[in-house]
Amino acid sequence: MKRNPDSILNVLGRTGYLDDMPVAAGTLHAAPVLSPCAKGTFTGVDPSRALALDPSVRVFLAADIPGENQLGSAVMDEELLADGEWHFRGQVIALVLASSRALARRAAARVRLLGVVELEPVTDPRVAFARGDIILSPRTQRMGDTASAWKDCAVVAEGRVESAGQEHVYLETQGAYALPDDSGGVRVISGTQAPTAVQKIVARVLGLPMNLVEVETRRLGGAFGGKEDQASGWACLASLGAVLTGRPVKLYLNRRDDMTATGKRHPYSSDFKIGLAADGRILAFEADYYQNAGAATDLSPAILPRTLFHAAGAYHVPNVRVTGTMCRTNLVPFTAFRGFGGPQGLFVMECAIEKAARALGMHPSEVQRRNLLSEGDVFHYGMPAEDVRATDTVDRCLALSRWDELRAEIADHNRTHRSTKRGAALFPLCFGISFTKIMMNQGGALVHVYNDGSVGVSTGAIEMGQGVGRKIALVAASALGVPEASVRVESTRTTTVANTMPTAASTGSDINAMAAKAACDAITARLLDLAAERTGSDRDGLRIVEGTLRSGDADTGLSFRDLVALAHERRIDLSAHGFYATPGIHYDLAAEKGRPFRYHVYGCAAITATVDILRGSYRFDDAYIVHDIAGSIDPLVDMGQIEGAFAQGLGWAALEELAFDASGRLLSDTLSTYKLPDAHFMPRMRVELFEKPNPVAVANSKAVGEPPLMYGIAGYFAVLDALRAARPGAESFHDLPMTPEKAMRFLAEDAAGPGDGGGQGTEARP
């Protein structure tokens, strides 16, 4: 805690978030009117009962929007305020303002919809696909020739896989505070991962140029992707109210409305076909992914390709054909979530390996180990595998967990215990780092060195609990040669650093710290030129270390502060703008080939579980994780990210059930009905950092935000391994999350369902 000042504020409860901000006099509070069902039409809105509550109440509809009634980015298919029809339960129909939040909510409840006609919704992506309700065109990536490869396979396994969505459950719900200014524009304090995206869409809705919209974000109380695209709508509503009334407007959702009206991780329904040689080598793999995109496009066109990119997991597969389709349904538009489509693709491959390995009479871990990526292999999207660490991290995890001994202990337990069975699973990780939309891999920074030697750093990065601010401060301090305490990372503002990209895709430090370093390097170069002139020393031998100017190993007697004061006197610029565009990445969409990632992160997890076969309940016993962190900028921050991401991934795989009914109503819409991992749910953890420098990223580091989430997938298969010990001859089911109810159905010989392989089986070849 002493090493990270933010930790002190968090522990003391003094960290300020959006809802903690003091509001200006005259502020109005906003509440949305949400659609009552998943699909319907209406002829009008009657606000009279709401307006009668209090003179401060105002109600705004789609007709009041001065610009475009449109939130879409990739596809213009999402209205800010529904106009005559709605397409999911929780879509915003009207904006209600009042002098207090409680009054606004009371007024919103009194707004009546006229001429309502409820329509039959579609909630299943396969049904939407069959009806032709798809977004854009399906995408296919391929390598080799799967059609001709099947005849060479000793075993061909086919099956169906279901993976449910996941609620973000950020501690701070969605919100924004908008203040009109005398230029006719608006200043928005937004809970967003993407200030420039908010700026652009607010400007569109208000009919303003972007330079009249300022967006600021100091920090977020969590986001996990849920505030990348979907913060924009709430910022637009607050801004609309502010401009139309001329008064500040604050909007902050309660938890139930947030869970009802915002997107989650995409559910997928998928089919696979995999072929193996007799020795366990994977020869061919095909998959079709039916992505449940929800009612609007949102970020689905970016999420789907990451599913395809990670379809083969950490394995070399010579023949691949994978196809993904975005299916439009009448559920809330699904959106970014930590992993961004990667976990769904990786889960399908692990299901395919599990089924094929059993058919070969092998444990899945044997197939996993036999097919790991090696240096020089080529990914199915055409990128060569470089600096591959798959075998190294897996071997280290096997040693850390005593894998062979562990499996022997589990087998002995299962022989001698009738009421409990144990299982273990391995998960090797390979995860690409970069935005899959190439143009998004850029970022800027503005660094000021003040004339007392203190430093202010502004970037496009958003601090949301992941420690990106601390990493940027450490990189800037190192580049300038000053103590970290001298550096302050400022709020993110669109007027300070323009045209920023979202803090997402695990690129926050990679891009923004590199941009900050470029700016700091420019200032340092100016100071060292001045120092060489002042001291008469060789410029190449000078450096600034911990605030002191050194010539070689000798102290020159000049401090960083002295140099800054002298530079100020000499009229030398002490500010610099830095810019970084990730080099070496490219992609041909027509050919579906290229180099979409700067590098890959590797790792491995081994997890054990014990199942009570009388109750269907289970516990996770131990988790061993070896994670490829390269040169860590801050090992404590990275360790926290690994452990937290793993907990979130394990929750998705084995606990968090995002449940909708057939009418499209979210059943798990409160924290009393949506289960989250807690200390009792988590296994004993042992995490080891695999440290080998990564020269293509800032400070020889590697991204850490998203990749560790995938380790949770091993938890699903650890429980499945234990269940199969109870019923060795039963067909596995692949339906995530692995809830106790599903485990009990399997144990009760009632495992039939959408995740059991869909009636498809395994074919053994002579």
- DSSP string of 143-212, one letter each residue: ES-HHHHGGG-SEEEEEEEEE-------SS-SEEEEEE-TTS-EEEEE--S-HHHHHHHHHHHHT--GGG
| Contact in structure between 226 and 339 (CB atoms under 8 Å) | no
Q: How many CB atoms within 10 Å of residue 534?
A: 15
> Rounded to an integer, what distance in angstroms lies between the CA atom of residue 295 and that of residue 114?
23
Annotated catalytic sites, by residue?
706
Burial label, 571 (beta-carbon count in 10 A; 0-12, 13-18, 19+): exposed
The CATH number of domain 5-119+174-252, selected from 3.30.2350.10, 3.40.50.261, 3.90.1170.50, 3.30.499.10: 3.90.1170.50
Q: How far out from the chain centre does Cα 236 lie?
A: 23
* Number of helices and strands in the chain (H, E): 19, 33
- So what's the pLDDT on residue 12? 86
Residue 431: enclosing H or E segment and its boundaries?
strand 420-433
Classify residue 515 as left (phi > 0), alpha (psi -120 to 50) or beta.
alpha
Structure tokens at 37: 């069902």
- Give the CA distances from residue 524 to residues 518, 576, 698, in Å, rounded to whole numbers and listed in that order: 10, 10, 17
Tell me the β-bridge partners of 231: none
Identical fold for domains 268-436+590-764 and 442-581, yes or no, is: yes
Q: How far out from the chain centre does Cα 106 lie?
A: 35
| 703: DSSP letter | -
- So what's the pLDDT on residue 751? 47
Structure tokens at 693: 């420098």
Counting every residue, how long is the chain? 766
Q: Which of 291, 370, 296 is nearest to 327 (CA)?
A: 291
Rg, C-alpha atoms of the chain = 27
Question: How many CA atoms within 13 Å lie on the side-chain side of 354?
Answer: 28
Strand pairing report for 155-163 and 735-736: parallel
Model confidence pLDDT, tens digit, residues 571-621: 999 999 999 999 999 999 999 999 999 999 999 999 999 999 999 999 999
| Contact in structure between 89 and 38 (CB atoms under 8 Å) | yes
Structure tokens at 701: 């580091």
pTM for this one? Answer: 0.96
Place of tokens 């597969």: 317
- So what's the pLDDT on residue 154? 98
- Give the CA distances from residue 348 to residues 300, 337, 365, 714, in Å, rounded to whole numbers and listed in that order: 18, 18, 16, 12
State the CATH architecture for 268-436+590-764: 2-Layer Sandwich (3.30)
- So what's the pLDDT on residue 758? 41
Domain positions in the chain are 5-119+174-252, 268-436+590-764, 442-581
- Residue numbers of the chain with a pLDDT score lower than 50: 1-2, 751-759, 766
> Rounded to an integer, what distance in angstroms lies between the CA atom of residue 722 and that of residue 710?
20
- So what's the pLDDT on residue 446? 98
Q: Is the peptide bond before 737 cis (omega within 30 degrees of 0)?
A: yes
End-to-end CA distance of the chain: give it in Å, rounded.
62
DSSP class per residue in 504-528: -TT-HHHHHHHHHHHHHHHHHHHHH
- So what's the pLDDT on residue 49? 98
Buried b (16+ CB within 10 A) or exposed e, 548-559: bbbbeeeebebb
State the CATH architecture for 442-581: 2-Layer Sandwich (3.30)
> Rounded to an integer, what distance in angstroms lies between the CA atom of residue 156 and that of residue 564?
69
| Contact in structure between 308 and 324 (CB atoms under 8 Å) | yes
Q: What percent of the chain has pLDDT over 90?
A: 95
Q: Where are the alpha helices (DSSP H) in 362-493?
A: 364-370, 390-401, 403-416, 468-480
- Give the CA distances from residue 630 to residues 396, 400, 441, 603, 605, in Å, rounded to whole numbers and listed in that order: 15, 19, 21, 11, 17
Backbone angles phi, psi at 648, to 5 degrees: -65, -40
Structure tokens at 372: 């790991």
